[in-house]
Amino acid sequence: MSLNAVTHLNFRGQAREALEFYRSVFGGQITVITYADFGMPVEVPGAKNVVFGEVVAENGFRVMAYDVPGSGEPVAPGEPTTRRVNGTTVTEEPFFLSVRGENVEEVTPVWEGLADGATVIEKFGPAPWAPAFGMLADRFGVTWIIDVAAAHV
């Protein structure tokens, strides 16, 4: 028996756009099924939203996404929280997606693709613990860590 954990992102009307963007970065095949495809009348608001979507790439990347039913402003998949630590306000993200490759050449195109329209949190480059590391929040508010696997001593 084999188990796989797959990240499933929740959006409010942006799932298709996000999945298309991730496919452009990682490659692979995209599947998008709308609420209308499952029988919701096309004229109902939200019928064109994604009820099931995923990107699956040959390199092992896989992500799923859908649009949460109901109306409302688009929201990031996770809302950050803040707390005080030693008198300083610290922002904590609810989760990160991590993409780890075997070498810098393998992950650099991923970083460059995700960086389009992103907010860079930690610039991509050499780090004391890895040949390359970077952190960004993409145009959809998803926080990504991109790095190169290093042998742990």
pLDDT for 150 equals: 76
Q: 65 in helix, strand or coil?
A: strand
Short-list 67, 24, 72, 21, CA closest to 48: 67
pLDDT of residue 6: 86
DSSP string for residues in 121-135: EEEEEEETTEEEEEE
Residue 112 CA, chain-centre distance (Å), reads 14
pTM of the model: 0.74
CATH 3.30.720.110 residue window(s) in the chain:
81-148
pLDDT at 141: 85
The answer to whether residues 26 and 110 touch, using CB atoms and an 8 Å cutoff, is yes
Residue 146 is predicted with a pLDDT of: 93
CATH number of the structural domain 81-148 = 3.30.720.110
Strands across the sheet with 50-56, in order? Answer: 7-11, 62-67, 50-56, 29-34
> For position 69, what pLDDT does the model report?
80
CATH top-level class of 7-67: alpha beta
pLDDT of residue 87: 66
- With a CB cutoff of 8 Å and minimum separation 6, the contacts of 11 are 18, 50, 65, 66, 67, 68, 74, 75, 77, 140
Q: What is the mean pLDDT of each run of 10 residues along the chain (153 residues)?
A: 75 93 97 92 92 94 88 54 57 73 94 95 90 91 88 56
Cα–Cα distance for residue pair 120/130, rounded to 1 Å = 18
